[in-house]
Amino acid sequence: MSTFQTGTLCAQKLDPLKRVNYHFGLVLGVDEFQQEQTYFIAKDRSQYRLAHGYGTIRGLQLKVVDTPDLELQVSPGVAISPAGQEIHVPQLMCARLNDWLSNNQAALAGLVDPSQPLSLCVVLGYRECATDSVPVPGEPCRTQQDAMAPSRLADSFQLRLCLNADWLTSPPMSSPPPDGSQTSGLCYRPHQREENATRRFGELLHRIRITDNAPVFTQRTDLENLVRDIETLEGPCGPPSSPPGSPPGSPPWDTGPIFLATETAPELLRAAFRVWVTEVLPAIAAKNAEAGCACDPSLLLAELQFSINNNWQVSGPVTIDESCRPFLVETRLLQECLINEITGSDSAGAAQSCVVVAAGTFNITVSGATVTATASGPAYNSLTATGQATAGSVTTVLLNWSGNPGYVNPLSSPPTGHSYVVKGTAIAGALGGVYGFQVMGFENNGILIGLTVTGLSTPPKGFGVEISEITGS
C-alpha cells in the first residue's frame, strides 16, 4: 500500500529585504519568484518614498461641471502614494455628488447636519487587479473556474470621496481609521502627519536670516528644539497657531525671523536637518505605526465644500480647496530654480531678496484726539493699522502685521540684515486739498506713518500701503 502526499506551496513570509540567492541545484518554485518580485518592487517604492517623498506628479486636475449632471471630474495623471506606489490614472474619471449623497444618506444621517455645509475629501489610492486568466494544472474533477488562475497583476487605482472628520457635527461611533479605511460604508480623510510636518519645517526654514548683525542670534540648541517641536504638532497643513503643549490662551506660534551668524550658519543648518532626519521623521513614523498603519495609503487630492438641502442633494456652488494637496516637482525643475537663483544675484555675488510682506487699504476716522483705522478690504499678511494721534495737519498711524515673516525693527538690525520699503498713498477726504503719505519712523512695535493735508482742515479719508522687506547684504 502506498501513501500519497499532496505538495503545497512554500509558505515562507515574503521579506522585502531578501533576494533569491541563485546557485546550482536550487529548486525554483512560486515562492522564489514572488520573493524576487517583492525585493525589487520594495526597492523601487522605497526609492520614491524615502528619497523623494510623495504626492501628485502630473495631472489629476479637479473641476466640477453641472451639465448634464452635477459631477466632479478628475483628469488623467500620475502620483506617488504615501507608501511609494506609482499610481497612474489613464483617463478622465467622474463622480456624481448627488448620487453619492443618496447612496450614503443612511450612514451620513447620524454624522452630518444637513443645515450645515458638508466637507468631503477626494483621495486617490493604489490597488492591484488580477487579470488574464489561464488554465492551470491541478486536481481532477474541478470546475472550470477552479481550473483557471490570473496570470498577471495590473497596477490600478481607486478614487474615493471621504468625510473630513473635523467637519462632523457628531463624532463617529469609533475614531476614524488613520488609513482612511471604511467605517459603516464611509471612509475618512487620511492623516498627513509627514506632509504637515514637512510644510511646517519649510516655514521654519523660511524664517531664517543669515547675517553678521542682528539683535539676538539663535543658538544651536534653540534651533534644534524648534525643529523637534514640529513633531508634536497636530492638525491640518499650514503654519501652527500656537506652540506645542501650550495651555489655552497662549500666544500664537512665533513667525518672526531667526537670525543665524554667517560664520556658524552652516553648522547650525546641518544640526537642524540632522534632527529632522534622525528624530522628527522616525517619531512621525512611530505615531503612524501606533495608530495602526505604517503610513497613510491614500493620497489627498482636494477638499470639497458645499451645502445640502433637506433632500440630501447639493445646494449651491461646490468649492474645491487644493491647498493641502501634496505634490512633487521634477528634479530638472529644481535644477532650473537653482541656476536662476545663482544668476539672479547681484554683481558682488551676495544673495539678496525683496518681497512684499504686508499690504492693505484702510479708512481713517478722527474724533477729537482719537484716530481709528479700519481695513476697507483684505489685508495681506494680517496687516493692522492703529491710529495714534492728530497734531495740526498730521494724522499718525502705526502699521504692524502678524503673518510670516513678522515685523522686526530694522533699526535693531543694521542694513546688512534687513530693512523695509514702504510705499503708500493717502485717500483724499475732500477736493481742493493736497494730501500726503510719509514714513515717520521704525518703532519696536511697528512702522509709524503720517498722513498730511495742506489747504484744507478735512483729514484724509484713508490710505493704501504696500510694505516690502529687503534681506541680504
What string of DSSP letters covers 10-23? --PPP-TT------
| Domain identity same for 311 and 439 | no
Answer whether residue 382 is part of any domain. yes
User: What is the phi-psi region of residue 220: left when phi exceeds 0, alpha when psi lies from -120 to 50, beta otherwise?
Assistant: alpha
Residue tagged 479708512 (cell numbers): 363
| Domain identity same for 320 and 403 | no
Residue tagged 512560486 (cell numbers): 30
| Domain identity same for 114 and 257 | no
* Per-residue model confidence as pLDDT tens digits over 394-439: 889 999 998 777 888 888 755 456 789 999 999 887 777 788 899 9
* Per-residue model confidence as pLDDT tens digits over 283-335: 988 887 776 654 457 899 999 999 888 888 988 899 999 988 999 988 888 88
Answer whether residue 59 is part of any domain. yes
Answer whether residue 339 is part of any domain. no
* Per-residue model confidence as pLDDT tens digits over 135-172: 887 667 767 677 788 888 888 899 999 888 766 655 54
For residue 151, CA distances in Å to 130, 131, 154, 210, 249 come to: 7, 6, 10, 59, 62
Please say whether the beta carbons of 110 and 170 come within 8 A: yes
The range of the structural domain enclosing residue 232 comes to 195-290
| Cα distance between residue 274 and residue 228, in whole Å | 11
Answer whether residue 24 is part of any domain. no
| Domain identity same for 305 and 446 | no
| Domain identity same for 361 and 427 | yes
Q: Identify the domain boundary among 241, 268, 290.
A: 290
| Cα distance between residue 52 and residue 49, in whole Å | 6
pTM, entire model: 0.65
User: How many structural domains is the chain composed of?
Assistant: 3
